[in-house]
Structure 1
Amino acid sequence: MLMVMDEPKPNHWVFFSVAQNSPDFTLTIVFFILPHSEVKMGLKQTIKSLDAFPRAEEHLLQKTQTGALVSVIGLVIMATLFFHELRYYLATYTVHQMSVDLKRGETLPIHINMTFPSLPCDVLSVDAIDMSGKHEVDLDTNIWKLRLNSNGHIIGTEYLSDLVEKEHADHKHDHDKEKDHPHIHGFDQAAEALVKKVKQAIAEGEGCRVYGVLDVQRVAGNFHISVHGLNIFVAQLIFDGSKHVNVSHMIHDLSFGPKYPGIHNPLDGTVRILHDTSGTFKYYIKIVPTEYRYISKDVLPTNQFSVTEYFSPMTNSERAWPAVYFLYDLSPITVTIKEERRSFLHFITRLCAVLGGTFAVTGMLDRWMFRFLEALTKPKRRKETECGSLSGDGCCFGGN
């Protein structure tokens, strides 16, 4: 049977339902014609039923002073946690990676800043030698010396031009040289003036501050600061023996490259003072090549190091002169330090967790306080109600 429908009215929705009856295939089609307003109302009710946060009417809500206090405290806590999480998100953190060092043919910068409170600048020299013991005639060196008075204040400055670059065997001041070459280094007026000047400086408590940069080959070696630059006879006249050379020192800065955020140089701030004795300090340094990668993708090649210290006191049979040695070796492993920042999704997740947790806890606290105060005040209100109903008999005022 075929049924023809008229065109639906304006602002009406047409719905139809199809049913099939087996086995004779009876087809039934039912049409529903509903106004638009009823359809929209049904959709709104369906959407409202999905609301997980229903609201009560304003006249059904009860506001209390304790609730206001808890709300203010909760807002303060949430604001504090928000700024804490924001700061945590904006802050960078570092990731360390290790790999084999493949650098070759580069120089190693050594930054020095030391003070020798008991040795004048005229007797101090910086000696540098690598593991092969070859001459470093092309060593690019910028070393300065500052004269200090007994109080540690600066007197004057001069460029350290007496950097000693020699074979390891030449670093020993043996008494045999005195016997073999008694007349080679004759004392002239300049030598006598130097001896007199240094003795006066020692008597006045003059010290020296040595600072600058040594650019050495990127191989194992050592550098040391001592009186080895002096003529052996001049040194003997000044100090009257090696046991009177006081190599007390303070290391303000010792590094092997530029500094990066968070670096720790273990020798910075080291103070070694000798009293009535002398000897040789040796610092065994293990250098680790390091590459610091900033969040801006800039790369800073540098080095970090660990150190072991050893002190050898002078003996009567000791021929070598006291000194401060820095013996360094390079690690075959390089460390890459990368700055990274947490993702925005990580920030949103943590923020929702802390703020939602604070909101839930303050809500629980508000309910508990309300119930507690209600339990305390309920007996009192009940008594007042009873007294009000019986006030005519005077029961609340002590009447008969």
Structure 2
Amino acid sequence: MHSSGGMSRVFSRVRNLDAYPKINEDFYSRTLSGGVITLASSIAMLFLVFSELAMYLQTVTETKLVVDTSRGEKLKINFDISFPAVSCTLLSLDAIDISGEQHLDIVYLLKAFSSYLIHIILTTIYALQKHAVIKKRIDSNGNLIQVRMDKIGTIKLGKPIQKHGGEIAHNETYCGSCYGAELSADDCCNSCDEVREAYRRRGWGLMNPDLIDQCKREGFVQRIKAEEGEGCNLHGSLEVNKVAGNFHFVKSFHLANMHVSHDVKSFEDDSYNISHKINKLSFGDHYPGIINPLDGVHWSQSIPNGMYQYFLKVVPTVYTPLKGAVIRSNQFSVTEHYKGPEGRQRSLPGVFFFYDLSGIKVNFTETHTSFLHFLTNICAIVGGIFTVAGIVDSFIYHGHKALKKKRDIGKLVLHYDSS
């Protein structure tokens, strides 16, 4: 009995704390205006609740600028550029940065084989390499030119000539001459490209390839003539140091970071058309919302032997999604400049991309409204509309009641116009 009485006193005290006293239904007074206000407030409440739910489910991207303190990273350059008036043999991609690192003629010639499967396999193999750059022969309309596989790199005339002179003896290893461009006595040049590379290292121009045994056997000059009127597409990616530098599409040799000679003069009647279309150019991986200002840009050259320059300002960017790995990429802005030939002085023909790194990094972070914040807003919506609707209903109810009282005691007189 004592325990039961104690619980009753506890329940009585809790009951006294009720902030929502109940009114007997006999004292309720339901009105038409109250019903209209309830219906309108319910519709408004549902609309605001669903709007808040949509905002809660929506992902918001926050932007923050910080100083870029990263060091020793690499910069990935992705591109897809077509040159409708330059053959693949006379076009190469070189990359140089201010640290002195050079990547010369970093392309692979990819023919359109009769077997599409072989084409896909080679593309995949090249894509796994550090500099996955692929060169394709195209016609003036951008269509890939079909070339039979068994015609690639076949010997044209006779047997190879050894470095010391004479043809290869039985079981003798071939070692071709570099024609004075050897850096040591043990250097061998077994193909026309290796001879040209040796000349490139020396900074010399290969002006008469018909005198080079390797180029003569491989039909280098014939290949250039056969590709006359063709174009070339280069696509892939480069991985360079994350410092200022440039990459360019020309056929040239280098000496102390300066272009000193050009080997296209003998093969294109001293003219070089650098018309080009940039199908794609980006720095780093793709992330949501990225805009690459040079994608789809097309430029047609009216004067031969000009130099087209793009000056790029690369801004490091980090994108942090709600789910998945962090994406480290880059944005860039660009200005363009064309330098044509001036009198007898000609600019080195080609397309140059000069890039510099910004010291500011942009951080994009996907955020989501917290559930507690969403719940607080829902309570605010329900409570606010309920309170405002109660105030409006009370004002209408008491106003109508006051008018009715005045009318009953005769103090409310309505005037009607007899006319």
> Who is 1:113 aligned against?
80
> Who is 1:250 aligned against?
277
State whether residues 129 and 168 of structure 1, in contact with CA within 8 Å, keep that contact through their aligned partners in structure 2: no
> Who is 1:20 aligned against?
none
Distance 1:276 1:102, change over 3 A: closer
Identity value in percent: 31
Task: Measure how far apart 1:208 and its partner are.
Answer: 2.6
Distance 1:278 1:305, change over 3 A: same
Equivalent in 201, 206, 224 of residue 248 of structure 2: 224
Distance in 2 between residues matched to 1:44 and 1:234, nearest whole Å: 98
Q: Which of the pair is proportionally richer in strand?
A: 1
- The answer to whether residue 44 in structure 2 is matched with residue 80 in structure 1 is no
Q: Deviations over 1:85-114 (max 9, x none)?
A: 3224xx24334252342422x433221211
Q: Which runs of 5+ in 2 are unaligned?
A: 107-129, 153-191, 254-260, 409-419
Distance in 2 between residues matched to 1:155 and 1:359, nearest whole Å: 74
- The answer to whether residue 132 in structure 2 is matched with residue 142 in structure 1 is yes
Q: Deviations over 1:8-43 (max 9, x none)?
A: 999667xxxxxxxxxxxxxxxxxxxxxx97x68964
State whether residues 109 and 214 of structure 1, in contact with CA within 8 Å, keep that contact through their aligned partners in structure 2: yes
SS in 2 for 1:236: coil
Distance 1:302 1:10, change over 3 A: closer
> Who is 1:27 aligned against?
none
> Who is 1:194 aligned against?
223
TM-score, L = length of structure 1: 0.62
Q: Deviations over 1:266-306 (max 9, x none)?
A: 33333323345662121222333344444458433333333
Distance in 2 between residues matched to 1:42 and 1:297, nearest whole Å: 56
State the AA in 2 paired with 1:86.
Answer: Y
How many residues align? The count is 328
Distance 1:143 1:85, change over 3 A: closer
Equivalent in 311, 315, 318 of residue 284 of structure 1: 311
State the AA in 1 paired with 2:64.
Answer: H
Distance in 1 between residues matched to 2:210 and 2:14, nearest whole Å: 115
State whether residues 278 and 294 of structure 2, in contact with CA within 8 Å, keep that contact through their aligned partners in structure 1: yes
> Who is 1:390 aligned against?
none
> Who is 2:30 aligned against?
61
SS in 2 for 1:196: helix
State the AA in 2 paired with 1:119.
Answer: V
> Who is 1:396 aligned against?
none
Task: Measure how far apart 1:327 and its partner are.
Answer: 1.4
Distance in 1 between residues matched to 2:55 and 2:101, nearest whole Å: 57
> Who is 1:274 aligned against?
301
SS in 2 for 1:239: coil
SS in 2 for 1:235: coil
State the AA in 2 paired with 1:118.
Answer: A
Equivalent in 190, 207, 210 of residue 234 of structure 2: 210
Distance in 2 between residues matched to 1:269 and 1:71, nearest whole Å: 53
Q: Deviations over 1:43-94 (max 9, x none)?
A: 477345x227868658622357845752563255134323323224xx2433
Task: Measure how far apart 1:334 and its partner are.
Answer: 4.4
Distance 1:241 1:71, change over 3 A: same
State whether residues 78 and 355 of structure 1, in contact with CA within 8 Å, keep that contact through their aligned partners in structure 2: no
Distance in 2 between residues matched to 1:274 and 1:238, nearest whole Å: 19
State whether residues 66 and 370 of structure 1, in contact with CA within 8 Å, keep that contact through their aligned partners in structure 2: no
- The answer to whether residue 264 in structure 2 is matched with residue 240 in structure 1 is no
Task: Measure how far apart 1:143 and its partner are.
Answer: 1.0
State the AA in 2 paired with 1:142.
Answer: A
Distance in 2 between residues matched to 1:47 and 1:350, nearest whole Å: 27
Note the aligned Cα RMSD (angstroms): 4.8
Aligned pairs for 1:365-380 within 5 A? none
TM-score, L = length of structure 2: 0.60
State whether residues 286 and 330 of structure 1, in contact with CA within 8 Å, keep that contact through their aligned partners in structure 2: yes
Equivalent in 74, 83, 98 of residue 66 of structure 2: 98
State the AA in 1 paired with 2:30.
Answer: L
> Who is 1:26 aligned against?
none
- The answer to whether residue 155 in structure 2 is matched with residue 126 in structure 1 is no
Distance 1:300 1:250, change over 3 A: same
Task: Measure how far apart 1:224 and its partner are.
Answer: 0.3
Larger radius of gyration: 1
